[in-house]
Structure 1
């Protein structure tokens, strides 16, 4: 008979929690817990039509949860039970810092070196620095390899296939992928582009104009099957598409990390990305291509490409499309570069995102609750 696992609570159970710490632990199970602020945040969203970021990132269990402690995503807790949190983004607000400094907070895992370095720098001038700094620990997401080196080396292709995967088509640069790839086809190159996305106009900070979505669909039609769009697929189907592709695309305007890049790497796909936040430490010229877009610090170390007006949006789109076209053309002109970058991408995942190591680190922390 297997021993009963100890229960750890968390605020939500989204992709982020499942991806980073709701793992297959030998001795622990992570479950969604009771939390006053979840209900307050939901009510605020319904009434005000916008999220309350303070309530989203706070937790109060009133001592009612049947768990030994908590692991949160970005959040801080008023609970008397021990807890840890994972910071996806730098934290600089006094409300959370006050709770992060309390003894109940045992560890603060930083998702990237970008977050870790900013947090250290910020805390040097914070009254909470002495309490919080010793708790910081870098812990990248885990990613299991989905192909071995021999199989990757044996992989052959007649036509180079690029793939873009993200529900936020416009924010992640999907529109620019289609525009740049259209120019690639017009230049006489033979290639394919796979798009897996919801294809709506949701974007940040402004929704995409309907004309951009219409233009996208027109270009797809014009490609005569060279650009394929899939709106809804199972996880297994998406992984099969990655496995049969050669280069991953994430030319994003705003991202904290970029999980799809790790998934590309796990199949030996080098990636084309922008230079946003943690992407510059995940991707590199050794295992992919980085598009050096002009970025601005919008506060507390968060960098993004400005698109606050229709004029800025158009300018950024034109610039990114031109860079992407140059990059795609270079790849197709020198297809032999894909193999070396593919091996480097796979080795990077195998050496730096080991799931068993992350489980060991997290369990060691929970054991001290």
Structure 2
């Protein structure tokens, strides 16, 4: 099958470019909207539009389908789109309510058009967010809802057999390039407090942290970002406690090796649309402690990991409307993270059972062969 894609980035590789029997044609630089957006943004300071409009004369006659990620298509060719939040993706306009944005309705008509044969939500959270959006557009909803599917990304199992704890030392691991958004600061605070309370030390616990400390902006905090003194505190704690090992980044092969060696993964994230690192850790037999934002409770259920339960808004995300609210949420995350770590230290059998269940859920819910079959069944709708 010949499939046109609009890029070969990480999302496409994880959700679209997955079948070696298909031919994928990258039309990123053959998308008219790529150039329209550059002109609009430079001359009119207008928002980027997430629309794919291919140069028709460049499209091979035997193209079977277009498969996009977070974009909608303006074309006569049949197309499919995978999305992580909602479709269409339209950036906010200051002073204009979201549902009153004319660009939203215009792009929504493309999704409702017969050329769109399917839209694929990456999670149940994304499916629910899409349904909520469509409540405001009943005419378009009637055409879109029947062609909506849910398909979690594929993930091969990377570890065989149950996790063993030969040594008394437990190894925890955190990875997040966007260190503060992914909850890296809360990891440092929680383990530092446990060490200062005398509950852990470098002989009993090792915490491997991978993340760029210079990536300080936290999208979830909005107008209430942390200040320089907070960042200095986190860096000082990292340097003070020998149980921490920090690296700005690691090659993927090194990260996978670390996941296979670690006993528990950490993702106390403030904001995440999915959580691919959770899948990779689980596939290595490393159960994860995560928050409950967006898709995380779907891919990290209690039987396979541990959940930090936070209050969520209608978008399944954290809401920060003041410094006080941010600090209260941070206290909640740190307190629950510490509680889970203490429980793991006391009951290692629970860790072992979750390790086995984590691998099993990857095999059951993210099997690459079944994912390919499901995607091909969606493509068949274009015939």
Report the TM-score, using the length of structure 2 for normalisation.
0.85
Q: 1:221 to 1:74 in 2, by over 3 A?
A: same
Distance 1:77 1:8 in 2: 14
Query: Does residue 63 of structure 1 match 2:77?
Result: no
2:310 corresponds to: 293
1:345 corresponds to: 358
Query: Does residue 77 of structure 1 match 2:85?
Result: no
Structure 2: any 5+ residue segments left out of the alignment? 89-103
Q: Secondary structure at the match of 2:277?
A: helix
1:108 corresponds to: 119
Checking the alignment, whether the CA contact within 8 Å between 2:120 and 2:149 is kept in structure 1 is: yes
Superimposed CA distance per residue, residues 75-123 of structure 1 (whole angstroms, 9 cap, x where no aligned partner): 1111111110012113374233211111111111111112223434554
Distance 1:239 1:41 in 2: 38
1:305 corresponds to: 318
Checking the alignment, whether the CA contact within 8 Å between 1:246 and 1:270 is kept in structure 2 is: yes
The correspondence for 1:172, drawn from 178, 182, 195, is 182
Checking the alignment, whether the CA contact within 8 Å between 2:3 and 2:22 is kept in structure 1 is: no
Superimposed CA distance per residue, residues 248-292 of structure 1 (whole angstroms, 9 cap, x where no aligned partner): 111111111111111111011111111112112111211111111
Distance 2:40 2:205 in 1: 48
Query: Does residue 236 of structure 1 match 2:261?
Result: no
Checking the alignment, whether the CA contact within 8 Å between 1:89 and 1:256 is kept in structure 2 is: yes
Write the mapping of 1:141-290 to structure 2, written as runs, cut at 5 A: 141-148=153-160, 150=161, 152-154=162-164, 156-187=166-197, 188-189=199-200, 190-200=204-214, 201-204=216-219, 205-206=222-223, 207-224=225-242, 226-290=243-307
Checking the alignment, whether the CA contact within 8 Å between 1:75 and 1:96 is kept in structure 2 is: no
Distance 2:352 2:40 in 1: 50
Superimposed CA distance per residue, residues 188-238 of structure 1 (whole angstroms, 9 cap, x where no aligned partner): 3221111111122122125542222211111011112x1111112111011
Checking the alignment, whether the CA contact within 8 Å between 2:306 and 2:340 is kept in structure 1 is: yes
Distance 1:43 1:242 in 2: 44
1:330 corresponds to: 343
Distance 1:307 1:249 in 2: 22
2:99 corresponds to: none
Distance 1:41 1:333 in 2: 56
1:3 corresponds to: none
Checking the alignment, whether the CA contact within 8 Å between 2:289 and 2:305 is kept in structure 1 is: yes
Q: 1:81 to 1:131 in 2, by over 3 A?
A: same
Q: 1:216 to 1:40 in 2, by over 3 A?
A: farther
Query: Does residue 321 of structure 1 match 2:339?
Result: no
Total equivalences in the alignment: 354
